[in-house]
Structure 1
């Protein structure tokens, strides 16, 4: 199995005309970070060429009016400022807040409902989400780290959160596109949507409410049944709750746009009909939308 790219390799990686390598590579890390900085989320930054990275390149090409093929080429590389970009990685010192975790979360919803907060189970998990990284990649990048308060570790720098005003949302091809009032794409995010048995909505809807760090009302008679839990429950908020750190309520009853406890599985699993995002993407979007804006599901 190839070794995890080093900081030096990531900072030095350049496009030479060849496609992104299969598996994990320093160049893919660099491209994922630059896409994220450009408002085109690759989902988790892990250095792997995969479906989410390809969809992000396609989204960038579409926004910039380039040939849409999902492949890294000279136009994409130059547009992202690939050769000139610096500080793809940086040093981060672990804080006391980072160490406030909720270890050994139960799977059972009834037991979760007895807690006050569904937090991160590991320090590395929370730091990985802060910097849009896959937890395993973070650990591999810091093989000797103990992830304790005061320790300096290496992370990627995805740049600051966007601060735009979103006027309309469109969801298609497992991407959520956020448009400004002039029709320009200000952000694009990978999403999980429903399956054939539990499909997402279709057509036009609107945002009815936006909640950050929401609790979750479990209603097995309306949505789905988890294990043997047949009665309604209220689960506390937290990044490892069923809807993660955000709930954007849609005008179609019981449906919304929300976060996830498992960002690495975003493209592996269908949702129960809602639109599922990484927690960091959902939080960014939540601060750019307002009630009443249009949400269109395009088939």
Structure 2
């Protein structure tokens, strides 16, 4: 009886959300994600990433740039799709494999792969959302049970991007922008872009190549905050690899565009000089670039 009640409650919540009873910030983040002007990991909270996403979308669509959701912006974002969807957890979802990720590089190097630590983390990555948001959308649901139906952000069928011609990274705005041949922004993703110790290498560069599911060759001499006594280590691939699921090599030694094991930190923390994106955005960018692709890094 309790499970039936919770199922009815979730179905009711989904029905209400689909008819408009959903927090505006959550709705906006989902629509922005589908429009390729992302606020980063979907968490339903208005912050600096969301402000930049709205501003970037408004600028690209020729709307007044306010960084806030207004009627013209809502109208321009309306793609006719519902903001939420239902997903049935599968046997493969439950099977994982899952394993706690150790802190030290030496211990990471001992593993065969750096997989997700939990199904909560895996589902969060799949639906571009914070695990906390998924829990909020699904009170009483057990994510470890195959066959369980859950409510998720509707991001499964995002339209593919048109071809990009140039990549721009802006340090002050903490965004990566893909431009078409006419110089128009077709996508914008939040990014983490250097620090005072490892500043962004401002200038014009090119893409050398793309490596998917890369190993990470850790050299403590390249990290100002490395622990004393640490040695070199070859870190295995996986979503919890320090550079995530893709490495986009730039034409400057030791610098690249890559994913991250901590999607909630993107745009909010500093990096070691490279350009960090969520894993899903890094993969989208990887699908747009090739060797020789132009890159502009600016302040």
TM-score normalised by length of structure 1: 0.89
Q: Deviations over 1:226-264 (max 9, x none)?
A: 334532111001111110111111001100111111111
**Counterpart for residue 220 of structure 2:** 220
3-state SS of the aligned residue for 2:206?
strand
What is the alpha-carbon distance in structure 2 between the residues aligned to residue 228 and residue 98 of structure 1? 39
What is the alpha-carbon distance in structure 1 between the residues aligned to residue 91 and residue 162 of structure 2? 31
- Deviation of 1:179 after TM superposition, in Å, equals 1.3
- Deviation of 1:120 after TM superposition, in Å, equals 0.7
1:43 has 2:7 as partner = no
Contact 2:209 2:291 in 1 (8 A): yes
3-state SS of the aligned residue for 1:283?
helix
What is the alpha-carbon distance in structure 2 between the residues aligned to residue 45 and residue 156 of structure 1? 8
1:154 has 2:151 as partner = yes
1:57 has 2:54 as partner = yes
- Deviation of 1:145 after TM superposition, in Å, equals 1.7
1:11 has 2:8 as partner = no
1:117 has 2:113 as partner = yes
3-state SS of the aligned residue for 1:111?
helix
**Counterpart for residue 142 of structure 1:** 138
Question: Unmatched 5+ residue regions in structure 1?
Answer: 1-5, 15-24
1:296 has 2:296 as partner = yes
**Counterpart for residue 7 of structure 2:** none
TM-score normalised by length of structure 2: 0.89
Computed over aligned residues only, the root mean square deviation of the Cα atoms, in angstroms, reads 1.9
**Counterpart for residue 10 of structure 2:** none
**Counterpart for residue 203 of structure 1:** 203
5 Å matches for 1:78-117?
78-81=75-78, 85-99=80-94, 100-117=96-113
- Deviation of 1:224 after TM superposition, in Å, equals 4.2
- Deviation of 1:7 after TM superposition, in Å, equals 3.1
Q: When the two structures are aligned, how many residues end up with a matched partner?
A: 283
Given the alignment, which residue of 62, 68, 72 partners 1:71? 68
Question: Unmatched 5+ residue regions in structure 2?
Answer: 1-12
What is the alpha-carbon distance in structure 2 between the residues aligned to residue 153 and residue 38 of structure 1? 24
Contact 1:166 1:288 in 2 (8 A): yes
